[in-house]
Amino acid sequence: MPMPRPDAATVAFFTSVLPKDPTVSTRPMFGNLAAFANGYMFSGLFGNDLFVRLGDADQARLLEEEGAKPFEPMEGRPMTGYICVPAAWRGEPATVKKWVARSLAHVNGLPPKEAKKAKKPSAKKTQPSAKKTPAKPEKKTKA
């Protein structure tokens, strides 16, 4: 199944509802766009679906809204803590902004993620294997 991609209008809508906060950054994720703060993804696009990361109480509250659904990048495998806002809310940017702001507040309340440590070079030999292939028998020519 091909990865869904957002259309230009969805990308414009998404960037318009993000908080104007210096801690917020966006970057591509699997051909889509996601917003990060404090080292955590707090909102993003998956195709034309906009999702937010929320605490348990806000997840339950948002799922009560018609059209809201768990974020499932793979069918039947929801990402814990992430909910897609109703598509009908595209016409209600103030409502979406409120939920995106709740999402940002949620991740800002989480402990900061530690920077990933650089990987150490593996202990394996960097030279090609010394394993030799058996020599082919020489062809005898008639004299």
CATH of the domain at 71: 3.30.1460.30
Contact 107, 34 (CB under 8 A): no
* Count of the separate structural domains present in the chain: 1
Q: Token pair of 47, please? A: 């195709």
Residue 75 lies in a domain: yes
Give the structural domain span for 84. 8-108
**Residue 120 covered by a domain:** no
Residue with tokens 């348990």: 56
CB 48 within 8 A of CB 42: no
- Using alpha carbons only, give the angle 58, 62, 63 rounded to the nearest 5 degrees: 115
Q: Is residue 97 part of a domain?
A: yes
pLDDT at residue 12, as a whole number? 96
Q: What is the pLDDT of residue 122?
A: 63
Cα distance between residue 114 and residue 100, in whole Å? 24
Q: How many helices (H) and strands (E) does the chain have?
A: 3, 6
The Cα 18–Cα 35 span in angstroms is 8
Let me know if residue 91 belongs to a domain: yes
33, part of any domain: yes
Position 132 scores a pLDDT of 58
In a domain, 122, yes or no: no
- What is the C-alpha separation between 139 and 61, in angstroms, rounded? 80
Q: Which residue has the tokens 């020599």?
A: 135
Assessment of whether the complete model's pTM goes beyond 0.85? no
The answer to whether residue 72 sits within a structural domain is yes
Q: Which residues of the chain have pLDDT under 50?
A: none
In a domain, 123, yes or no: no
